[in-house]
Amino acid sequence: QVQLVESGGGLVQPGGSLRLSCAASGDPVSIYTMGWYRQAPGKVRELVASITSAGLTNYAVADVRGRFTISRDNAKNTVYLQMNTLKPEDTAVYYCKAGVHFVFWGRGTQVTVSS
């Protein structure tokens, strides 16, 4: 099993950057497919980006490609989401997930993009 804690969210102006962290305890994140999801008010939770145990990355939301980067630091047992050129529509609670069939979720971190 793995326990996940997200951090790094906050209020940022449009065009700004944030780096979200998903710190894991228990199992190593390297054995899981890790994903960052987001849920905006009134909307369903959606997959933003994922990284497999082999290090393959996927960006499921077309609008984040080229702006967001998912990465993993095995030594720190942490997964990151670097978010650049943020837009108001990126505002959401961002969640970290481990696994594909049997999954574990963090509690989320709020990202607000507003001037």
For every residue of 8-25, DSSP letters joined together read: --EEE-TT--EEEEEEEE
Percent of the chain with pLDDT over 90: 92
User: Identity (one letter) of the amino acid at 99?
Assistant: G
Per-residue pLDDT averaged across 9-23, rounded? 98
User: Identity (one letter) of the amino acid at 40?
Assistant: A
Q: Give pLDDT, residue 15.
A: 98
Per-residue pLDDT averaged across 54-81, rounded? 96
Per-residue pLDDT averaged across 25-47, rounded? 95
pLDDT band at residue 62 using 50, 70 and 90 as cut-offs: very high
Strand boundaries in the chain, DSSP class E: 2-7, 10-12, 18-26, 34-39, 46-51, 57-59, 68-73, 78-83, 92-98, 104-105, 109-113
pLDDT band at residue 57 using 50, 70 and 90 as cut-offs: very high
Per-residue pLDDT averaged across 82-106, rounded? 96
Per-residue pLDDT averaged across 30-49, rounded? 96
Q: What's the CA gap between 80 and 45, in Å, rounded?
A: 19
